């Protein structure tokens, strides 16, 4: 019985510790302290952004870019850590690639309008701090392997992208349309670009790099 209580207590403690850093401020805490010069751009995002910096670190280092992607994160979590991981680094640009994990319901149900609102808020915070936001379309996704019950992913991605594009045009913010460039006949990422239809491979990142540098 004592062993059961000990295990239960450990689980509660671990859960509490996780909840206390819901936005994962600790992920880049030390890395942020080591930044000595203002970056040209900070890339804010989820596993797609984290994978980009991990798979092609030379692209980031040679261009004075910094990756601040965290796997699994939603736009709500990114918004919470935006000040620490973007504003305090004082980049010229912030590249925002967010929303796919919201559509995948990683953080539970959330309306498209609220996902859009989170990204809009990140742009407003950036502009208030003299950082130029660059909005990236959500990458194509016809399905999420870890959420097979979601059957309208492609439509939801396109709806969010329409909102992001219209907002960018109205507010004279740069918009990078990766979706049109990378989508297949099912409005997803092909096997040539992503083994699971969601996360780009290095060849896909190379295509994205050729595009993004023109906006920074």
Q: Which residues, at least 6 apart from 10, have a Cβ–Cβ distance to it below 8 Å?
A: none
Residue 5 lies in a domain: no
Distances (CA, A) of 65 to 84, 156, 159: 16, 30, 29
Residue 189 lies in a domain: yes
Q: Which two tokens stand for residue 184?
A: 């297949």
Question: How many folded domains does the chain comprise?
Answer: 1
Residue 8 reports pLDDT greater than 50: no
pTM for the full predicted model: 0.89
> Any idea which residue has 């918004």 for tokens?
79
Residue 8 lies in a domain: no
Residue 22 lies in a domain: no
Task: Say which CATH number the domain at 32 has.
Answer: 3.40.50.1110
Instruction: Give the pLDDT confidence of 20-59 residue by residue, as tens digits.
Output: 899 999 899 999 999 999 999 999 999 999 999 999 999 9
Q: Three-class SS of residue 136?
A: strand
Residue 73 lies in a domain: yes
CB-CB contact of 145 with 103 (8 Å) = no
Q: What pLDDT was estimated at residue 19?
A: 59
Please tell me the distance from the alpha carbon of residue 139 to that of residue 153, in angstroms, as a whole number. Answer: 11
Q: What pLDDT was estimated at residue 53?
A: 98
Residue 95 lies in a domain: yes
Q: What pLDDT was estimated at residue 9?
A: 40
Residue 91 reports pLDDT greater than 80: yes
Residue 6 lies in a domain: no
Residue 188 lies in a domain: yes
Q: Which range of residues forms the domain containing residue 142?
A: 28-215
pLDDT classification of 190: cutoffs 50, 70, 90: confident
| Sign of the CA dihedral with 65 first, then 71, 74, and 79 last | negative
- Average pLDDT estimate for 163-167: 99
Residue 83 reports pLDDT greater than 70: yes
* DSSP symbol at 94: E
Alpha helices in 21-74 (DSSP H): 29-33, 47-55, 57-62
Residue 184 reports pLDDT greater than 50: yes
Please tell me the distance from the alpha carbon of residue 198 to that of residue 190, in angstroms, as a whole number. Answer: 9
Residue 203 reports pLDDT greater than 70: yes
Kindly compute the dihedral angle of the four CA atoms of residues 156, 81, 92, 34, in this order, to the nearest 10 degrees: -140
């Amino acid at each position: 019985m004592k062993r059961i209580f000990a295990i239960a207590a450990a689980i509660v403690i671990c859960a509490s510790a996780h909840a206390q850093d819901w936005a994962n401020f600790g992920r880049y805490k030390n890395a942020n302290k080591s930044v000595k010069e203002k970056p040209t751009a900070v890339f804010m995002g989820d596993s797609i952004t984290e994978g980009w910096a991990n798979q092609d670190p030379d692209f980031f280092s040679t261009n004075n870019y910094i990756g601040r992607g965290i796997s699994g994160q939603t736009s709500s979590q990114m918004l919470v850590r935006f000040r620490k991981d973007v504003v305090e680094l004082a980049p010229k640009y912030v590249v925002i690639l967010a929303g796919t994990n919201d559509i995948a319901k990683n953080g539970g149900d959330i309306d498209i309008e609220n996902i859009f609102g989170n990204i809009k808020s990140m742009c407003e915070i950036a502009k208030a701090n003299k950082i130029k936001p660059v909005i990236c379309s959500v990458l194509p996704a016809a399905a999420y392997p870890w959420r097979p019950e979601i059957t309208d992913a492609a439509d939801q991605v396109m709806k969010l992208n329409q909102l992001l594009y219209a907002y960018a045009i109205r507010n004279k913010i740069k918009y990078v349309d990766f979706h049109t460039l990378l989508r297949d006949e099912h409005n997803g990422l092909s096997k040539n670009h992503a083994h699971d239809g969601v996360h780009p491979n290095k060849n896909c990142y190379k295509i994205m790099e050729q595009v993004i540098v023109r906006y920074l």
